[in-house]
Structure 1
Amino acid sequence: MRRAPDVGPETSPATGERPGADLRMPVLGAVAWAGALVGLLAPAPLAVLLTGVGLALLVAAARRDRAGLRGTLVAAAVVLLAATAVAGLHRAGTATGPVPRLAAEEASVRGVLQVTGDPRLRQGTYGDYVVLRGDLVEVTGRGRSYALSAGVLLVAPPGWEEVELGSRVALAGRLAPADGDLAGVLRVRGEAELLDSPDVWWDGAALVRGALRESVAHRPDDQAVLVPSLVVGDDAGLDPDLSADFQTTGLTHLLAVSGTNLTLIVGFLLVLARVVGVRGRGRYAVAAFGIVGFVLLARTEPSVVRAAAMGTVALLGMGHNGLRRGTRSLGVAVVVLLLVQPWLAVTVGFALSVLATAGILFLAPTWRDALARWMPRWLAEAVAVPAAAQLACTPVVAAISGQVSLVAVLANMLVAPVVGPATVLGLAGGLVGLLSAPLSRIPGTLASWCVAWIIAVAERGAVLPAAAVGWGTSVLAVGGLTVLCAGLAVVAPRLLRRPVRVVVATALAVAAVVVRVPDPGWPPSGWAAVACDVGQGDGIVLRVAEGVAVVVDTGPDPVAIDRCLDDLRVERVALLVLTHFHDDHAGAVDGVLDGRAVDAIEVSPLPEPPATATAVAAAARARGVPVSVPGHGSRRTIGDVSLEVLWPEPGVVRSGGGERDGEGSNANDASLVLLAEVRGVSLLLTGDVEPPAQRRLLRTLRERSVALDVDVLKVPHHGSRHQDLDLLTHVRPEVALVPVGADNTYGHPNPGLLGTLESAGAVVARTDVHGDVAVVTTEGRAGPPGVVTRRRAPSAHPRRA
């Protein structure tokens, strides 16, 4: 007897087959996306030309149409023209007018601002500051006043974090040019002058957000931050190390507003409505109320509107005839969003949202059905949905980050069972908190228990040997990955039907993640020193003996410095030197201390900034590691490494942290400057000393007739333009190491400085371009040391080629 086909929300009652996807609206969405990109990025004449060509092709196709597609082609022509025109108008609005003109002149202005984004307190290298978005509705500059509406980004002093969303304030500051959908960046002076308080709906949303935070305030810090993040994307105060763990394990989407948030919250409200007897059109009213409430809670920023639209598409996709309705809704959402906010077309978040939603709609149902042949349907869905979304987003994530997370699918499957309860319970805590703060702790505590599991998965997954693998960001690399993902999408249903195949594939994937695969070319034979790729910071490793090293600075990322030391097979650190206490040099001490023995720590004599100095002292004390300040001129030998402290001299260290030249500080000039020798290779390690200290150091060396002629120079301050070139060329380095982060916002390294070093005969190696950089030598060597890198070789100066 033939088994009757299953009939469910995805199948036709008459045939038992799943209705096919309606691709007409997704095609229109793609056309709108292309039009928005042309309108935003192409020069105006080229945009008009491309639009005209596109319209001509569509009209020609429509005239020859014999397959009933004429209506779709006409609609595509209309959408293309509308999207390009709207995007062009938005682009012109941010590039012309009073605010962009004043920003180009960097004029001082006064004005009135309508606050449209929550203020965020940020930690800078030289002090805290506040950023927020708003619309300038009045501005006065260069002797003229204007009434307008121009989006700007404010950079303000501490105190502005108290400004409420929706309020209207008077301010003064200096405008600067901006990119994207902003007319300018306004650097504010002084305090905000409140003119109008937020409207009542913003007050209501603020009460719920405040009650939500209060419901989990008694829980550990990471849990107290993550619950509001899950519910409404409020991640203020999140530990940067935990954020890095979420990125490594592919869980970053939980830290921001996404369509999942809306789906869970509105789904919860619909269940409640059903329990209390709401039926028919009343459920649509409940869903609309939930969507509007979600947007108010999470704020009306473009990313929130995008998330609300994608969440609504997901809700439609979960209902009757979900695939057909979902694909139609996805196309409509893309078209509408790009006509309302065309700048979304160039944002990564929009691309990831669309791809994740498309993956869930097109791939997840087939994968779920394949798995459901041999496992419970609910479990099959829990596996298929995150896997499909992750696969669809993988090429874009790799193009941005340069890496592919191998644990992302597993991590998402592990946390999937608690994401829904955590979100719903967190929202319940906020709502109950409006009535009773003590009672709100009950759902708040339950929600925090759920996120404790999420945190555990992120932290454990991030430290696996191969949690993420490096992947190029070139067109060829991303294109190859896209082809690979498309192939996996095609073969996955056939693979997932057989439990044996799934078990074997899972075992291989787990082995690839858990077992570190040795790099046959790393570390290179005869390495003496390595500049680790730790992002925007310094991390230098000097080889003492097999498995033993001296580490000079840690960089800002514990995972990065720990990875570098593991790759060099360093099990014991004989000495950890922190040249100074800025986070980019001393912010990742735990990455060195955890999992390996550290004999001693030596630090700068100036404990500024105090927060980092205190954290270093606490971490060392917890592990029983002695901390000391080395004296000027002190020398010591540890195995193959000899060290001499050249700077700072007695009496030059001053507290206070004053800035110079917009970049320098007393903490920088208190950097320990070390002359090291490793296996016959001499290195000058300069920390972040600025030109005043560099000049004094050079003068002292000359007074003492010390003629430094080193093999390797660690360029100060990541190749900043603020340098004393006399010192850098006086030491006549063969190799110049520049530890620097890719795409940093400081303009490091300075091209002119690099050119000067190369002209002086140095081979310049940068961690942002070359990855980990090793200086290698051999016993009884003659000539300069060699340079070996993880990514590609540095370009040698012609005189050295």
Structure 2
Amino acid sequence: MGPPLDLRLVPAAAGAWVAAVLVVVLPPRAATLAAVAVACAVVAVVLVAWRAHRAPDEARVGRLLRERVGQVVFVGVVVVAVCGATAAQLHARAAGGLAAHAVDRAVVRVEGTLRTAPAAMPSAWPGGEPRFRTVLQLGTVEVRGVRSDIAAQVVVLGGSAWEGLRTGAAVIASGRLLPAEPGAREVAVVVVSGEPTVVADPPAVWRATGQLRAGLRALAARLPGDAGALLPGMAVGDTSRLPDDLAAAMRTSGLTHLTAVSGAHFALVGAAALTCATLLGLARPVRAVATAVVLVGFVVLVEPSPSVLRAAAMGAIGLGGLVAGRPARAAPALGAAVILLLIADPWLARDVGFVLSVLATAALVLLAGPLAARWSRTGRTTAAHALAAPVAAQSVCAPVLLLLTPSISAYAVVANLLVAPAVAPATVVGLMAALLAPAWPQGALVLAQVAGAGCWWVGAVARAAAGLPGARVAWVGGAVGAALLGLATVAAFALLLGPREAGAGPVHTLAREPAAGLARGSSVAGWGRASHTTLVESDRPWRRTRHPCRDLLGRGAARARGARRRG
């Protein structure tokens, strides 16, 4: 049995997520009022709980409030933080009035810094000029002769002149404003017809990472077929060399996530760095610092994406635990990462990449272990764990993927199982080839060929799976289809985690086994020293056992009540 699950941060993370999804579509004043309203509600809960402490112990409401006040207050504080941070960012975005000018489709002159490298898009019509999309962090905007400073982001759509520009470059461009989608991080869209003017090159760190990525693309160009096409994507998330037919096969087979840098890539790099530091005999703080430096460098190299940010936040929390000498816990790290990231960037809550990354990680934390234990007699079979991971991740992510494409990949689990042995060599060795290329091109080519073998296998599996009959199963699209698939997924897990012994209900086992640690005393309702409740197994499922109350109001109130009863 593994260590008990600690789910205390799950309600706070869920509250932060709901708040971020709702507040980013509000006007700045409404977002501020939402933060104030939640703060008032938190204060009201504290006041009611204070009065409940003076009530007789037999008062059921008083006992309930004393048990839950800690977590309710913590969730409220997190929601207030998300709403307040969102309101501040919305006010900053609205300061220049760019959204109003976008409604009028005004012609503007913008100056700013590229947040992402320009990515190719399909032409507006067959045979038309290729288009490129990038995100620009604005510095100044000139509209109708009025120049102002604006701290906001815009989407820039331009022609082939934008190709080759690198992240971090400062540019000036003119174009027509269009409104952005509701709830988008960018405040407007700028359609540029002319060429941009580069006023400053990227900083040295971005130039260095750009050279490393270009060197990896040059190495990939010397590899044949799918090996060269997939190597940059699997190593650093660069899909510029990926042909359309291979990209379609990757989508059909459920392997697209391998070419988008995700938490798995981040974990592989972090584990390799930590292992090397440990083998060198470095002290614990030095190991943490060395690993942090490597991970920061990796984030800069691959360019921050939602899944990378989520993994980076989890890694930072894990490194903090390493320095403090505390054991790593995946569930609290995931919850804390979600809370911190949504406070810093609430628009991540609506980003599909971030949603899929969090769901996949949660599935591996909560479901992969129970599935593997159910499918093996000892709970330690490697084959069972290898099968449980893709089953859990693909099943939980399928309803979200359905919102993008109204069909289901029939062979995604099998395809992920077949490529699993090649993912780590292709990723880590490919990254080593990119780092070695500037100093030793011949050695880097050898490493690229080793990584390319793994990439070739991934491409072969993707094409084979996509060519099988029924590779994509049609399903109802939209929110209705996602809800139906979600219910089907819950029912499937109820059967997969059904009871081995006669007489126990499958729903009870489904709820019990993913949270097997809860039965051993994990807190699920407490915060800090707050009162908490555990779920214990007995003849009656889900019987609640209350622990001694230690909530935010302290022990003094409890001692005072005891003195009054003795008097």
Give 1:420 deviation, angstroms: 0.7
Aligned residues: 481
Distance of 1:81 and 1:270 partners within structure 2: 36
Q: Which residue of 2 aligns with 1:570?
A: none
Distance of 1:157 and 1:32 partners within structure 2: 39
Q: Which amino acid aligns with 1:107?
A: A
Q: Which amino acid aligns with 1:19?
A: P
In structure 2, the CA distance between the partners of 1:173 and 1:269, relative to structure 1 (3 Å rule), is same
Distance of 1:317 and 1:466 partners within structure 2: 47
Give 1:257 deviation, angstroms: 1.9
In structure 2, the CA distance between the partners of 1:427 and 1:457, relative to structure 1 (3 Å rule), is same
Q: Which residue of 1 aligns with 2:11?
A: 27
Give 1:49 deviation, angstroms: 7.6
Q: Of 21, 24, 29, which residue of structure 2 is paired with 1:40?
A: 24
Q: Secondary structure of the residue that 2:282 maps to in structure 1?
A: coil
Residues 262 and 291, structure 1, Cα contact 8 Å, conserved in 2: yes
Q: Secondary structure of the residue that 1:159 maps to in structure 2?
A: helix
Give 1:486 deviation, angstroms: 1.7
The gaps in structure 1 that reach 5 residues or longer are 1-16, 498-801
In structure 2, the CA distance between the partners of 1:302 and 1:353, relative to structure 1 (3 Å rule), is closer
* Structure in which a larger fraction of residues adopt helix: 2
Q: Which residue of 1 aligns with 2:258?
A: 254
Q: Of 228, 233, 249, which residue of structure 2 is paired with 1:229?
A: 233
Q: Of 456, 463, 480, which residue of structure 1 is paired with 2:460?
A: 456
Distance of 1:302 and 1:409 partners within structure 2: 24
Give 1:249 deviation, angstroms: 1.3
Give 1:459 deviation, angstroms: 0.7
Q: Which amino acid aligns with 1:139?
A: V
In structure 2, the CA distance between the partners of 1:57 and 1:101, relative to structure 1 (3 Å rule), is closer
Residues 310 and 358, structure 2, Cα contact 8 Å, conserved in 1: no
In structure 2, the CA distance between the partners of 1:20 and 1:280, relative to structure 1 (3 Å rule), is same
Distance of 1:311 and 1:233 partners within structure 2: 19
Give 1:219 deviation, angstroms: 0.7
Q: Which residue of 2 aligns with 1:766?
A: none
Q: Which residue of 2 aligns with 1:531?
A: none
Residues 42 and 77, structure 2, Cα contact 8 Å, conserved in 1: no
Q: Which amino acid aligns with 1:130?
A: F
Q: Secondary structure of the residue that 2:435 maps to in structure 1?
A: helix
For 1:44-123, list aligned pairs within 5 A: 63=49, 64=62, 65-66=64-65, 68-94=67-93, 97-123=96-122
* Structure in which a larger fraction of residues adopt strand: 1
Q: Secondary structure of the residue that 1:382 maps to in structure 2?
A: helix
Residues 232 and 298, structure 1, Cα contact 8 Å, conserved in 2: yes
Residues 212 and 429, structure 1, Cα contact 8 Å, conserved in 2: yes
Q: Which residue of 1 aligns with 2:492?
A: 488
CA deviation map 1:648-685 (0-9, x unaligned): xxxxxxxxxxxxxxxxxxxxxxxxxxxxxxxxxxxxxx
Residues 407 and 474, structure 2, Cα contact 8 Å, conserved in 1: yes
Residues 20 and 323, structure 1, Cα contact 8 Å, conserved in 2: no
In structure 2, the CA distance between the partners of 1:486 and 1:316, relative to structure 1 (3 Å rule), is farther
Q: TM-score, normalised by structure 2?
A: 0.78
Q: Which amino acid aligns with 1:151?
A: Q
Distance of 2:472 and 2:456 partners within structure 1: 22
Q: Secondary structure of the residue that 1:149 maps to in structure 2?
A: coil
Residues 285 and 323, structure 2, Cα contact 8 Å, conserved in 1: no
For 1:580-729, list aligned pairs within 5 A: none
Give 1:359 deviation, angstroms: 0.3
**Percentage of matched positions with identical amino acids:** 32
In structure 2, the CA distance between the partners of 1:261 and 1:163, relative to structure 1 (3 Å rule), is same
Give 1:182 deviation, angstroms: 0.9
Q: Of 320, 326, 333, which residue of structure 2 is paired with 1:329?
A: 333
Q: Which amino acid aligns with 2:16?
A: A
Is 2:134 aligned against 1:150?
no
Q: Which residue of 2 aligns with 1:747?
A: none
Q: Of 126, 129, 136, which residue of structure 2 is paired with 1:134?
A: 136
Is 2:267 aligned against 1:263?
yes
Residues 229 and 255, structure 1, Cα contact 8 Å, conserved in 2: yes
Give 1:173 deviation, angstroms: 2.1
Q: Which residue of 2 aligns with 1:173?
A: 175
Give 1:223 deviation, angstroms: 2.2
Residues 133 and 151, structure 1, Cα contact 8 Å, conserved in 2: yes
In structure 2, the CA distance between the partners of 1:76 and 1:374, relative to structure 1 (3 Å rule), is closer
Give 1:209 deviation, angstroms: 1.4
Distance of 2:231 and 2:298 partners within structure 1: 15
Q: Of 399, 418, 442, which residue of structure 2 is paired with 1:438?
A: 442
Q: Of 352, 368, 374, which residue of structure 1 is paired with 2:372?
A: 368
Q: Secondary structure of the residue that 1:41 maps to in structure 2?
A: coil
Distance of 2:445 and 2:161 partners within structure 1: 30
Q: Which amino acid aligns with 1:109?
A: V
User: C-alpha root-mean-square deviation of aligned residues, in Å?
Assistant: 3.0
Give 1:235 deviation, angstroms: 0.5
Q: Which amino acid aligns with 2:382?
A: W
Give 1:224 deviation, angstroms: 1.8
Distance of 1:324 and 1:489 partners within structure 2: 27
Distance of 2:147 and 2:483 partners within structure 1: 51
Q: Of 416, 419, 426, which residue of structure 1 is paired with 2:420?
A: 416
Give 1:315 deviation, angstroms: 9.2
Distance of 1:281 and 1:324 partners within structure 2: 15
Q: Secondary structure of the residue that 1:446 maps to in structure 2?
A: helix
Distance of 1:464 and 1:496 partners within structure 2: 35
CA deviation map 1:201-248 (0-9, x unaligned): 112211221222223221125322311111221111311221111111
Mean Cα deviation higher: 357-366 or 86-95: 86-95
Q: Which amino acid aligns with 1:102?
A: H
Q: Which residue of 1 aligns with 2:387?
A: 383
Distance of 2:168 and 2:212 partners within structure 1: 16
In structure 2, the CA distance between the partners of 1:345 and 1:154, relative to structure 1 (3 Å rule), is same
CA deviation map 1:458-482 (0-9, x unaligned): 1111121112211113544332321
Q: Which amino acid aligns with 1:33?
A: W
Distance of 2:483 and 2:180 partners within structure 1: 31
Residues 318 and 328, structure 2, Cα contact 8 Å, conserved in 1: no
In structure 2, the CA distance between the partners of 1:289 and 1:244, relative to structure 1 (3 Å rule), is same
Residues 92 and 151, structure 2, Cα contact 8 Å, conserved in 1: no
Residues 31 and 86, structure 2, Cα contact 8 Å, conserved in 1: no
Q: Which residue of 1 aligns with 2:247?
A: 243
Distance of 1:338 and 1:189 partners within structure 2: 35
For 1:294-305, list aligned pairs within 5 A: 294-302=298-306, 304-305=308-309
Distance of 1:202 and 1:474 partners within structure 2: 40
Q: Which amino acid aligns with 1:196?
A: A
In structure 2, the CA distance between the partners of 1:225 and 1:136, relative to structure 1 (3 Å rule), is same
Give 1:25 deviation, angstroms: 0.9
Give 1:68 deviation, angstroms: 3.8
For 1:194-209, list aligned pairs within 5 A: 194-209=198-213
Give 1:117 deviation, angstroms: 0.6
Mean Cα deviation higher: 210-219 or 350-359: 210-219
Q: Which amino acid aligns with 2:201?
A: S
Q: Which residue of 1 aligns with 2:549?
A: none
Distance of 1:353 and 1:317 partners within structure 2: 22
Q: Which amino acid aligns with 1:128?
A: P
Q: Which amino acid aligns with 1:429?
A: A
Residues 180 and 187, structure 2, Cα contact 8 Å, conserved in 1: yes
The gaps in structure 2 that reach 5 residues or longer are 50-61, 502-567
Q: Of 282, 285, 290, which residue of structure 1 is paired with 2:289?
A: 285
Distance of 1:496 and 1:321 partners within structure 2: 39
In structure 2, the CA distance between the partners of 1:19 and 1:69, relative to structure 1 (3 Å rule), is farther
Distance of 2:424 and 2:317 partners within structure 1: 18
Q: Which residue of 2 aligns with 1:758?
A: none
Q: Which residue of 2 aligns with 1:573?
A: none
Q: Which residue of 2 aligns with 1:479?
A: 483
Mean Cα deviation higher: 390-399 or 417-426: 390-399
Q: Secondary structure of the residue that 1:138 maps to in structure 2?
A: strand
In structure 2, the CA distance between the partners of 1:139 and 1:429, relative to structure 1 (3 Å rule), is same
Give 1:494 deviation, angstroms: 4.9
Considering only CA atoms, is the larger Rg found in Structure 1 or Structure 2? Answer: 1
Distance of 1:488 and 1:441 partners within structure 2: 46
Mean Cα deviation higher: 141-150 or 24-33: 141-150
